[in-house]
Amino acid sequence: MMETDHEFGYLAVPTAGSGPGILVLQEWWGLVPHIKDIADRLAAAGYVALAPDLYRGTTTNSPDEAGRMLMALNIEQAAQDLEQAATFLANHEAVTGEKLGVVGFCMGGQLALLAATVSDRIGAAVDFYGIHPNVHPNFSRLKAPVLGFFGEQDSFVTPEAVEQLISQIREAGKTIDTYTYPGAEHAFFNDTRPEVYNAEAASDAWQRTIAFFQDHLAA
């Protein structure tokens, strides 16, 4: 497996040297080691994974600062960044297949939905407890099936918010399947945060994510 820091962010290529491409979108903390680790895990599963650096080098472990950076994100610029990252990844010599996947976490989960509406290259989108108050994807432009993972005890993305998301996507005539894990909190997938990490939920969600990409992205 090869990992490199690229102008777009962090790129992980599988040992085999090629595979379908997947964008990995950061939480509100920035492009931190946890997100790079997810890209590495995808590369180990046979995918070429690119984690774009949407904060352009800035990271934090302070919730207050992360909240400020999330709210300061220029959504129009982020949409352009996502489209450019998708174009770069699709054209990368290691990437096989016509369509890309996208997976995002927290802020990145909502941006994954945005990416799937601004780029025609996205063929599968995975949303882990996505939230951003200023990101409102136009689901009429969604051309990829969506898989969503949520925590029953998530105070940021409540069960009501999940139902609203499902309704919005299905009313637009698009496809979404979701899983809500009993007792799981926001960021249950983040194994660098033991106070919220839920190993059982994370393992199940990961297996479903890999199976979803295998179903929808040609090798």
- Write out the catalytic residue numbers: 106, 154, 186
Pair 74, 195: CB distance under 8 Å: no
**Alpha-carbon distance 213 to 207, whole Å?**
10
Which 3 state secondary structure label does DSSP give 121? coil
Per-residue b or e along 90-129, where b marks 16 or more CB atoms closer than 10 Å to that residue's CB: bebebbebebbbbbbbbbbbbbbbbbbbbbebbbbbbbbb
Amino acid at 78: A
Q: Where are the beta strands (DSSP E) in 19-131?
A: 19-25, 48-52, 95-105, 122-128
